[in-house]
A and B are shown apart, each in its own frame.
Chain A
Amino acid sequence: MSLDTGGNGKQIIHAGIQGAGCSIPADLEGGDFFDFIPLGEDQLIVAIGDVMGKGMRAAGQMKELCTILHACTRKDLSLLEIINQLAAIGGKQLHRAGSFATLCLISYERQHNCLTCLSAGHPSPVIFSGRNIHVPRVRGVALGFLEEYQGTRPEQVVLSCGDVVILYTDGLVEARDANGQNYGLNRLKEIVAANTCLDAVELQEVILNDLFTFTGCRQQRDDVTLVILKKELEKGGECHGNQGE
């Protein structure tokens, strides 16, 4: 099931994963993007990225990259093969235009509860499992910089019920308050760790409220994009998060 909430928000429930994402452009149109791509009954691809610059040009390049991404996911390719194709086709287009894009790709397969992730110049996802916080060491060069993808091999993590995965663009952690202080990754981790019992949509709302409280709803320099994935609890299962503790 995929529900478009309109504007720049999307929600999905697929392959045992709840997904919620939103993108708040700094300009009328932004270069940030995210997408949920369900494959069959048991696989979900999630992408988040940031195209250089802002405005219509960045938004156009972002849409082209998303089109290529969707075409790649229809070919039954591995995550590494997808990112290689994106680098070869989308990266080349970006390079010609003097631009580049960061991208983090995630694939979740329900059969093995296995989450695989890769990054091309994008901040790594943050995984909350009980009291543990894990940041996969996936790194790579942004698309458009080099002729082919260069980066680490994909990292795989087995998710347990209730685990939460956060994906974000730099505009979120670099959002500033009235004193010029950044929101920061630590504050993001703290607010998520304290609310892992919530479902993906509720958690997104809590994070955004905290962000807006921090920034005082000031206009930001960069687009802000946030994606939350939560592995659904088994029926009757208990949350092992920290809410209320």
Chain B
Amino acid sequence: MEIRVNKEKEKATLLVAGELDYSNVAQLQQEIERQEAPVVEVVLKDLQFMDSSGAGMLLSQARLLNRQNRVLKITHIPANIRHDLEIIGFFRVLETLKGAPQSGGE
């Protein structure tokens, strides 16, 4: 997995490429936790695979930032990954967070 970070004043953008699974999920988590901007956007355009560990971590981080009155946006989700996330109810949980929606883009 490769993570590229673009920092602006109000937003940090993390572009994630490759495969996100239980073996490297901590790497992305640490990168999200390192950001201080009010909005952190995780762009999944070049992600080829995400397992349940990745989905669980992203939801935990979305909740954590929400409690800090910040936003974790998950965008440009590839269709195959979006399908898996829809089945587990990922977006329904995001909708319960204050300031929804936290996901968007194709």
Contacts and interface: CB of A to CB of B under 8 A. Distances in A.
A222 B66 CA distance: 30
B49 A142 contact: no
B52 interface: yes
A98 B60 contact: yes
A52 B56 contact: yes
A152 B22 CA distance: 30
A62 interface: no
A222 B92 contact: no
B35 to A, nearest CB: 20
Chain B CB count within 10 A is highest, among A53, A55, A122, A139, for A53
Chain B CB count within 10 A is highest, among A31, A50, A102, A121, for A121
Contacts of A52: 52-53, 55-56
Chain B CB count within 10 A is highest, among A52, A120, A222, for A52
Interface of B: 19, 21-22, 49, 51-53, 55-56, 59-60, 84, 87-89, 92-93, 96
Interface of A: 31, 50-55, 98-100, 102, 120-123, 139-142, 145-146, 150-151, 170, 174, 221-222
